[in-house]
Amino acid sequence: MSLAQVREWVGAARRLAVLTGAGMSAESGVPTFRDAQTGLWAKFRPEELATENAFRANTAHVWDWYAMRREKLKGVAPNAGHRALAEFALRHPGRLTLITQNVDGLHQRAGSPDVLALHGNIAQDKWLDAPRRCCTAQPPVDGRPPRCAVCGNLRRPAVVWFGEMLPVDVLEAAEAAAQACDLMLVVGTSGVVYPAAGLARTAAAHGRMVVVNPEPSDLDDAAHVVLRGTAAGLLPQLLAHT
pLDDT of residue 49: 84
pLDDT of residue 40: 45
Query: Does 224 participate in catalysis according to the annotation?
Result: no
Question: Do both 133 and 14 map to the same domain?
Answer: no
The region, left, alpha or beta by phi > 0 then psi within -120 to 50, assigned to residue 13 is beta
Question: 3-class DSSP state for residue 152?
Answer: coil
For residue 152, give the CATH number of its domain: 3.30.1600
- The ranges of the chain with pLDDT < 70 are 1, 31-44
One of 61, 107, 119, 206 is an active-site residue; which one? 119
pLDDT of residue 144: 96
Question: Do both 135 and 232 map to the same domain?
Answer: no
Question: Do both 62 and 129 map to the same domain?
Answer: yes
HSE-CB for 87 with a 13 A CA cutoff: 15
Question: Do both 146 and 233 map to the same domain?
Answer: no
Question: Do both 143 and 230 map to the same domain?
Answer: no
Average pLDDT, the chain: 92
The stretches of the chain forming alpha helices (DSSP H) are 3-12, 22-26, 52-57, 59-73, 80-91, 106-110, 133-137, 168-180, 196-206, 231-239
Cα distances from 129 to residues 53, 136, 152, 165, 228, in angstroms, run: 13, 12, 10, 15, 44
Domain that includes residue 111, residue range: 3-29+78-119+166-239
